[in-house]
Every structure is written in C-alpha cells, then in structure tokens.
Structure 1
C-alpha cells in the first residue's frame, strides 16, 4: 500500500511516524474554505475531504489522508491566530474553561472517501497574564488552532478523549481504520 499525507503539518507527520506508517507527503494545494452554513462536523469533514481529493486526483494509486483540526469554544470555531494579539485573546478566553478540539479526517482509497470527525474535550487551568505573554512571545502559538500546542505547553488540566487528536490526528481511529481495511 502506498500512502500519502495531504498535509505539511510537522505534527501530523510525527504522529504517523511514531505509529510506524510508511508514507510520503504531498500537501493539498486547495484553499481551505470552511462552510459556516453547515453543522461544524460536516464542515470539518468537507474541508478534510477537499484536501484529500485534491491529492488523490493526482495520485489515484495511493491511499490519501487529509485532515483539518479546529478548536471549538462556546459555539465558535477558533482557527490559527492571525497575529499575537488574537493569540492572547484566544488563550485568555480558554483559561479555566473547557473547549473541544475537533479533527475532520478523510481517507481516500480507490476514489472512495471514508470521513469522520474525532472530538476531544480539553480543560485549561487558570492561566496568568505572564504565562500567556511568555507563550505568545515564543511564537509557538501562531501555527496552531486555538493558539496552543498541547505537546509544548502545560496549560491543560485534563482531557477527555484522544491526546493525539489534540496534536493533529486521531491516531487511535486511523490505526483502527487501517487495521480493519488493509
């Protein structure tokens, strides 16, 4: 089986490597369009499928994985912050609160898409202004949904669900899919 990851995410790459997948990387070249008119899970699956199909159309002999991860808080989607002020606002809002991390995944084999959404609840402890400022100044928040990476900060008090989902790919579900289907 030839496998392609339709993403440039170093975190997704690392998760697949840790699970001993042999794969190549071919990032999708489509613009991410999040359809706000759809229910959140459907919109996420649509983005993941658009990414995966973009690559699968060029590499039809490969199995392709596409994904999109968001933070969902108080009925709103929190993507990657546009600037440091937005990152600070986001982290202040998440402080001492519970939010959801949702990853839409699409795996395509022989032009047949398999899509799902994995949801993990995450609760932040109370964050000080100093901690938020220090983290934002480090720049680590800028390329991550919700302005944080669980693997590089100690903001999380507890999670309910898949840790790897919060990093960027729900590996339990992906490994199960490949075990059952291949």
Structure 2
C-alpha cells in the first residue's frame, strides 16, 4: 500500500534519500539558438555584432572601434527616443525613492547623438546606417547583411547592391570616428 500525498520527485538521491544537487542541468536553448551561438558567439544578438564576427567591418582594432561606436550610438538612440512604462515616484518598486538623474550628462549625450545622426543624414547614407547600427534585429536582418554573411560563409560572390549598402553604412561610421 502506498502513502497518500504528493508523488516523489524523480532524480538521483543521496544516501539519506534527498534529491541530489550534484547534477545541475544548464539550459542551452533550442537547436537554433545553439547554432546561432556557434556561428556568432556572443555577438549574435545584434546586426553589427554579426557583421563584426564575419569580418565585414574590417580587421583588428579598427573593426572593434566601429563595433563599439555602433553599440554606443544604438544605446544612446534607444535611451533617448523610447519611452518606458509610466511609473509613480511615490510607489515605485524601489520603495518610493526618486533617482537623481544627471540632466546635463543626458542633454550632452542627446546633443552628441543628434549631431552624429545629422552628419550621417547629410552624407546621404542614413537608411543603410540605421539598418546596420540603429534598428533592432536580434536574430536576423537586414536582408542585405544576411546575404553578405551567407556569401562569406559559403565562399561565394556577394551581390554588388548588398556590398554597396554595407559600404554606405560603414562610410557613415568611419566618418564619425574620424
């Protein structure tokens, strides 16, 4: 006759009968997530990281500088131009404390971002620049970048129009570094 109550959990047990904590399983994600990790490493979460990983930004420290500037611009853009949830300063999750913001720093960063974007806009490469640097493409995209990466992976010739789009975006980035 069995005991009433909850069923016993499955798994390895210690001598005392408790569940063993020795076997910890880490979730590695889906097969697709594992494939993306093997292709891009930790840089697969954004389009500029995927381009960097496949050598489309150039070589060495110059490519790393372009990657860092791109991520800095994207972070500044989304910090400046998005709105978050409406939160009450009286009863927010931190116990009602009000965070002191450095308004001068925020203003300087927004001015820097606006100057950078206007400069790229005057160059006439803003659309390609935005697709490579600003837009949110966590898994894939823009299509021209995916085509370039596929061509690089398969050792085939890339479409000249896709190469032109990448060149436009990189021209904007390189001009901002200079």
Q: Is the structural similarity TM-score above 0.5?
A: no
Choose between structure 1 and 2: higher helix proportion.
2
Choose between structure 1 and 2: higher strand proportion.
1
Give TM-score scaled by structure 1 length: 0.28
Give TM-score scaled by structure 2 length: 0.29
Point out the structure with max Rg over C-alpha.
Answer: 2
